[in-house]
Amino acid sequence: MKHFRLRLLVAAIVSLPVTQFAYAAAFQFYELGTPINGSAAVGQAVITSDASTSYFNPAGMTQFSSNQFLLGTQMALAYTNFSPNASNTIPGSNGSNAGGIAPGAAGYFIYNYSPKLKLGASFNMPYAGALDYDPHWVGRYK
């Protein structure tokens, strides 16, 4: 029965559609939507209190005696503005607020196959956001 569950888990992970978007302007979510936020990310690599251990410290998965699952979400509202000065030779505006809402999500899973074998999976979005300046922004050619 355990082998069937393991095969089912592997099949589910492999069949997940994975998409990747790359943006040149983004910022990093260091906390990744985990309970480690409550300690200001101190000890993030050594604390084994939840399933996010599968990402931050895979060796810590050996401390769990049962299956673990963690789903975390977060939002960031970025505000950014460019300030042109007298040294700018290209005509244009300051681009207005180029920031916006950037969602973040993370999911972690630890599967307790046996006392000596733990399997973990981590899905997260450590980078988010995109800058979108107005079309007449002074930095549009750089």
106 membership: H or E segment, kind and range: strand 101-114
Q: Could you read off the pLDDT tens digit of each residue along the chain, which spans 142 residues?
A: 667 777 877 777 766 655 555 545 566 666 665 676 677 667 677 778 888 888 888 888 888 899 999 888 877 777 777 777 777 677 777 767 777 777 778 889 999 998 889 999 988 877 766 677 777 777 766 5
Give me the residue spans of the domains in the chain: 27-128
In whole angstroms, what is the distance from residue 119 CA to residue 134 CA? 47
Residue 120, token pair as written in the block: 């973990």
Predicted local confidence at residue 111, as pLDDT: 93
Closest CA to 95 of 42, 131, 65: 131
Global pTM value: 0.62
Which residue in the block uniquely carries the two structure tokens 């963690």? 70
Tokens representing residue 116 in the block:
């000596």
pLDDT at residue number 30: 67
